[in-house]
Amino acid sequence: MSTLCIHGLGYIGLPTAAMFANYGHDVVGYDTSEEVVSRLSQGDVHIDEPGLRAFVTQAIESDKLTISNEVVSAKYHIICVPTPFDRESKEAGLEYVESAGEAIVPHLRPGDTVILESTVPPGTTADVLRPVLEESTLEAGKDFALAHCPETVLPGDIITELKQNARIIGGVNGVSTEAAVRLYESFVEAEIHTTADATTAEFVKLIQNTFRDANIAIANEIAKLSHDYEIDSREAISLANEHPRVNIHHPGPGVGGHCLPVDPWFLGQNSEKLDLIKHAREVNDGMSSYIIDILDEELDGLEDSTIAILGVAYKGNVGDTRESPGLKLARELQSPAMQEEEPALADGGPQADPVKAPTVTLHDPHVTDQTLQLSPLEEAVDDADAIVVTTDHDEFEEMDPHSVGRWMDGDLIVDTKAILDEHDWNTEGFRVSRI
């Protein structure tokens, strides 16, 4: 068993810290956020993830996991800090990785191992983190081990996937790789694959998410084609997937979360070769304007309309709103472009009136973010002309069409996740449009 210091106690760092602790290691969980440290120290688990509260409580109560606002010396340092995406430059911000490295320097001792888990552009471990750590005057690969071990867990199933997903580990040299492998072997049940270097491990992580994003772009384009041919895209995809070598994903309102929409750009950060991958991103980002076109056509114009968006989490049954397709749709419905002048009056006639942008209401039973103007279901759909379902939360699947029909004004429901029973909703007088 070893001593560990985990840097960053978010969606990845907290379950990882608890996992190592519950497997007998002595773990200190360090976070720069006073709020995170104070809440966790009082036993309040701030991350919404099934089973996590009990898992973290078990680790803390066994005294194997200590929460701290200070970095400590440890045999292993694991970095799980954010790598935010800059929408303008389309680049990864590496400032948190650098500051985590700087905080390790005074505590780094010969024989220690530093592992970067955060998702980063290829080359980051070797070219960005390594020089920061070597400020200690110790040499990576010789005096201390340095490796990248990307995280691949699926939010909603993190604890199981932590143990059961195969791991990819790449060190700056063989000794570094072996040191990291020895640690993860303590709880990982699946295979641990090693790569020639850290850059390959970084690259492999990014192409996994890029593949999924591009596959969803194909599904989204298939959905648009199906609409023109007046066929059911879901049925077509499901039948196509009967072929043993075809596995098309599901269409939807666009791709959210801070991983799939971001990682393809990280992949191209130090290369000019993004082409199809970039186009796939654009297809997925364009789904919000495709939904607006559907609403516009079905409602015969959006002027003065009220649209209720059900789902501002980035996907079903989670509370995370990062890169949320529902919020993107809301922003675009209310953007200045929606308030352009009437086309008929656009040549500047003296009576030209601006078109009033739609009123948008939001509802999401999983999201607690106080900065969003969320309403209870009845209030959100009250007097709405249309509903757009943008996440596959269980609560939405179970909605009662009779009650919803009484509350709202219109009869249009755009089911971007195909979760509603079309027959039941049609019976209550709804027009259901699926993607």
Ligand X SMILES: CC(=O)N[C@@H]1[C@@H](OP(=O)(O)OP(=O)(O)OC[C@H]2O[C@@H](n3ccc(=O)[nH]c3=O)[C@H](O)[C@@H]2O)O[C@H](C(=O)O)[C@@H](O)[C@@H]1O
Ligand Y SMILES: NC(=O)C1=CN([C@@H]2O[C@H](COP(=O)(O)OP(=O)(O)OC[C@H]3O[C@@H](n4cnc5c(N)ncnc54)[C@H](O)[C@@H]3O)[C@@H](O)[C@H]2O)C=CC1
Q: Cα–Cα distance between 314 and 321 in angstroms, integer?
A: 5
User: Among the options 5, 64, 205, 328, which is catalytic?
Assistant: 205
* Beta carbon of residue 13, minimum distance to ligand Y (angstroms, whole number): 6
Q: Which stretch binds ligand Y (CB under 6 A): 6-14, 223-231, 270-278, 283-291?
A: 6-14
Position 250 contacts ligand X (CB under 6 A):
yes
Q: What is the largest CA-CA distance in the chain?
A: 79
Mention every residue, 6+ apart, whose C-beta is less than 8 A from residue 158.
Answer: 11, 15, 49, 52
CB nearer ligand X, residue 136 or residue 233: 233
Which one of ligand X, ligand Y, none is in contact with 100 (Cβ closer than 5 to 8 A by kind)?
ligand Y
Tell me, yes or no, if 259 is annotated catalytic: yes
Mention every residue, 6+ apart, whose C-beta is less than 8 A from residue 412.
Answer: 295, 298, 299, 385, 386, 387, 430, 431, 433
Position 124 contacts ligand X (CB under 6 A):
no
Half-sphere exposure for 151 (CA within 13 Å, toward CB)? 27
Q: Cα–Cα distance between 315 and 352 in angstroms, integer?
A: 41
Half-sphere exposure for 115 (CA within 13 Å, toward CB)? 29
CB count in 10 Å sphere of residue 215? 15
Binding ligand X (rule: CB under 6 A), the pick from 54, 72, 154, 276 is 154
Single-letter residue type at 242:
E
CB nearer ligand X, residue 363 or residue 393: 393
CB nearer ligand X, residue 315 or residue 366: 315
* Beta carbon of residue 68, minimum distance to ligand Y (angstroms, whole number): 10
- Alpha-carbon distances of 49 from 64, 319, 322, 399, rounded to whole Å: 21, 9, 15, 23
| Crossing angle of the two packed helices 52-61 and 13-22, in degrees rounded to 10 | 50
Q: Cα–Cα distance between 60 and 309 in angstroms, integer?
A: 39
Binding ligand Y (rule: CB under 6 A), the pick from 38, 41, 66, 82 is 82
* Beta carbon of residue 207, minimum distance to ligand X (angstroms, whole number): 9
Binding ligand Y (rule: CB under 6 A), the pick from 259, 294, 327, 386 is 259
Per DSSP, 223 falls in state H
CB nearer ligand X, residue 325 or residue 358: 325
Single-letter residue type at 375:
S
| Short-list 115, 91, 122, CA closest to 101 | 115
CB 307 within 8 A of CB 385: yes
The first and second tokens of residue 61, run together, are: 């109560």
Position 81 contacts ligand Y (CB under 6 A):
yes
Which one of ligand X, ligand Y, none is in contact with 256 (Cβ closer than 5 to 8 A by kind)?
ligand X
CB nearer ligand X, residue 155 or residue 410: 155
Position 316 contacts ligand Y (CB under 6 A):
no
User: Among the options 5, 80, 149, 259, which is catalytic?
Assistant: 259
Binding ligand Y (rule: CB under 6 A), the pick from 5, 17, 31, 433 is 31
Contact map string, positions 389 to 428, toward ligand X, x by CB under 6 A: ----------------------------------------
Tell me, yes or no, if 5 is annotated catalytic: no
Task: Find the binding residues for ligand X in span 155-184 (CB under 6 A).
Answer: 155
Position 119 contacts ligand Y (CB under 6 A):
yes
Position 260 contacts ligand X (CB under 6 A):
yes
Which one of ligand Y, ligand X, none is in contact with 80 (Cβ closer than 5 to 8 A by kind)?
ligand Y
Position 286 contacts ligand Y (CB under 6 A):
no
> Strand pairing partners for 116?
79, 148
Position 310 contacts ligand X (CB under 6 A):
no
Position 212 contacts ligand X (CB under 6 A):
yes
Mention every residue, 6+ apart, whose C-beta is less than 8 A from residue 96.
Answer: 8, 81, 82, 83, 84, 118
Task: Find the binding residues for ligand Y in span 145-184 (CB under 6 A).
Answer: 151, 153, 155
Position 223 contacts ligand X (CB under 6 A):
no
Q: Cα–Cα distance between 72 and 235 in angstroms, integer?
A: 55
Q: Which stretch binds ligand Y (CB under 6 A): 26-34, 179-187, 344-352, 375-383?
A: 26-34
| Crossing angle of the two packed helices 287-299 and 325-333, in degrees rounded to 10 | 50
CA 88, distance to chain mean position in Å, is: 19
Which residues contact ligand X by CB under 6 A? 119, 151-155, 208-209, 212, 216, 249-250, 252, 255-257, 259-260, 314-315, 325
Residues with catalytic roles: 205, 259
